[in-house]
Chain A
Amino acid sequence: MTRYRGNADAVRSLVRETEVHRDVYIDDEVFALEMEHLFANTWIYVGHDSQVAKPGDYFGTTIGAQPVLMVRHTDNSVKVLHNRCPHKGTRITTDTCGNTGKFFRCPYHAWTFRTDGSLFFIPLRKGYENTGLETSHASEGISPVRHVRNYRGFVFAKLNDTGPDFEEFFGESLSSIDNMVDRSPTGRLEVAGGVLRYMHNCNWKMLVENQTDTTHPMVAHESSAGTAIEVWKKAPPGAKKPMAVEIYAPFMAPYEFFENMGIRVWPNGHGHTGVHHSIHSDYSAVPGYFESMAAAYGEERAKAILDENRHNTIYFPNLMVKGPIQLLRLFKPLAADKTLVESWTFRLVDAPDMLLERTLMYNRLINAPTSVVGHDDLEMYERAQEGLRVDANQWVNVQRLYDPSERRDATAVTNGTTEWQMRNQFRAWSKFMTLSM
């Protein structure tokens, strides 16, 4: 049964001021429309340009449901190509990442392409003489994604011509990426440490909402962070608090801590927690780091960069960035009830290794499939995915600290336990879902 396809009003009716219909999480048709519209009309994170440092380096990933590859072209620019041979559709790259030299060569019939996707060579070419190949789709080579932007190393792409340009779409939210990059004394990041891949049997939006859900940590993570605090209490007096306890303990901070940290919302569904402080504010200083930052930026500027302790920044629709610990999580939708979460980490070039060590410890304690904090969260998402089958109430509530005068697509700083950012995401969802319908 088709309820939503071709019916923008039906899609819009799923999002009300303070509640959203369960079909946004469980309906297969809504999911298919998300892939066709939402993930095509918005700027989706592809990868970091340090993953393709040299000409010919490539990295295969997806935008929504579609395979793409990011490649460093011979002119040193970063291209994003639709990852299929124009001939029979074969995925061009064999490994997830590697170096292809000056050309991609399809492993099926040896059609060969330059690293911008243009067709270079077809074996037995005379078989296409006088067939009109030059007017075919195939003659275009591996189609490039037309809208690509490399912002300070972070590569985003938009599949459709519709939708806002990059600056208009992200606006001031780019300040969170800026802060992460500025934390390197040389202003450069490199992907480092390996990616954690965690399969979730739930809708991708549950994970995105959780990133700015500040009334769940002290409840859902009592089992992990609360236990960590209890276990540490038995340590001998005067023992130095280990990095792991510094990472776990703030999850148990009281409601007031999260209320006061603040949430900032931006237009187009972006926003962040931790305006004034965050769970990352009180980590121990790493010897030598501030000195190298002060040498690079001057003391005042270095202090301003490091005093910014944003918690989670949502880049709508499916990216979360943690500037203070150089980590991002990409929520890749696979089905209405299946999401692959990739957690990527970065080295601050020319900063002490201890920072990367802490970032990686955070990643494995919080974001790994073996992480107890991850277990706490996934249990809640899976229970919700199941509970939403209930017909008696088909609505999910996002009402906390709602004010009827709340402006759409506004920039505002507000109480850190608001669900405004969730409402902000759903208003953007409705807008970009229906933009091309």
Chain B
Amino acid sequence: MEAPTDQQLIDFVIHEARLIDQHRLDEWLDLFTDDGIYWMPLEWGQTDPKLTTSLMYEDKLLLTIRIERLKGKRTYSQKPKSRCHHVLQTPQIDKRDEANNEFVTWTAMHYIETRYDDQQLYAAWATHTLAVVDGKLRIKLKRVDLVNCDAAFGNIQLFM
């Protein structure tokens, strides 16, 4: 792939959410670079992921543990399984830095997670920092900022 077009960046972000909604989580994990990170800050406008607590700040190892756990026979919090649903606004291209192979998109979204009779709605903005690796777009950082990031939540078991 040469430098991706805006439309290719938009399509990538939309496809990424679809993989989560369809529980294609191994394919989803492959979208991350080897040093890719999934980050859900705890604080409004958080800048430091390590000396400020986050809801999630996970590398591929931790994401792999989560995904393998979801398949486990003794993962009782997933009996029955949770389901989820994304509604995305059209991603906006915030940055195109072809020289440094860095592309940033910003996407407002609603995310729903359900289990049993419970259905929770979350509103968030996803910021994707993407790069072209071996001819394909990959995620260096997916940052999910919840509009109520500092609220008291019950279980959030899947990926936004």
Contacts and interface: CB of A to CB of B under 8 A. Distances in A.
B131 interface: no
Interface string B132-160: 00000000000000000011111111000
Given A242-B61, A345-B53, A360-B53, A223 B76 contact: yes
A194 B42 contact: yes
B129 to A, nearest CB: 20
Nearest to B42: A194
Interface stretch (B11-19, B62-70, B94-102, B103-111): B62-70
A227 B72 contact: yes
A331 to B, nearest CB: 13
Contact of B56 (A192, A235, A364, A376): A364
A223 B79 CA distance: 12
A227 B65 contact: yes
Given A198-B153, A199-B153, A231-B65, A379 B77 contact: yes
B152 A197 contact: yes
Contacts of A431: none
A5 B18 CA distance: 55
24 contacts: A193-B52, A193-B53, A195-B53, A197-B153, A220-B76, A223-B76, A224-B65, A224-B69, A227-B69, A227-B72, A244-B62, A245-B61, A364-B54, A364-B57, A368-B56, A369-B153, A369-B154, A370-B40, A370-B56, A372-B65, A374-B155, A376-B77, A379-B76, A379-B77
Contact of A372 (B43, B66, B74, B154): B66
Nearest to B55: A370
B75 interface: yes
Given A222-B74, A364-B57, A376-B76, 15 more contacts: A193-B53, A194-B43, A197-B153, A201-B154, A220-B76, A224-B69, A231-B61, A231-B65, A242-B61, A244-B61, A357-B51, A360-B53, A369-B154, A372-B69, A375-B155
A244 B57 CA distance: 11
Residue among A222, A363, A372 facing the most chain B CB atoms (10 A cut-off): A372
Report which residue of B52, B56, B64, B74 has the largest number of chain A beta carbons within 10 angstroms of its beta carbon.
B74
Nearest to B158: A370
A198 B64 CA distance: 24
A248 B66 CA distance: 12
Contacts of A198: 152-154
A92 B54 CA distance: 30
A228 B65 contact: yes
B120 to A, nearest CB: 11
Contacts of B75: 223
Interface string A227-239: 1101110010000
A240 to B, nearest CB: 12
Interface in A343-384: 345, 353, 356-357, 360, 363-365, 368-370, 372, 374-376, 378-380
Contact of B154 (A195, A199, A224, A242): A199
Contacts of B66: 372
A369 B51 contact: no
A369 B55 contact: yes
A370 B41 CA distance: 11
A196 interface: yes
Contact of A231 (B43, B50, B68): B68
Which of A195, A223, A242 has the most chain B CB atoms inside 10 A of its CB?
A223
A223 to B, nearest CB: 4
A380 B155 CA distance: 13
A306 interface: no
A65 interface: no
Contacts of B42: 194, 196
A375 B53 contact: no
Interface in B8-54: 40, 42-43, 50-54
Interface in A156-213: 192-201
A366 to B, nearest CB: 12
A375 B157 contact: yes
Q: What are the 8 A-B residue pairs with the smallest beta carbon separation, nearest first? A: A197-B152, A379-B77, A369-B153, A223-B75, A375-B77, A227-B69, A194-B53, A193-B53
A227 B61 CA distance: 11
A423 to B, nearest CB: 27
Contacts of A357: 50-51
A356 to B, nearest CB: 6
Contacts of A374: 155
Contacts of B77: 223, 375-376, 378-379
Contacts of A363: 53
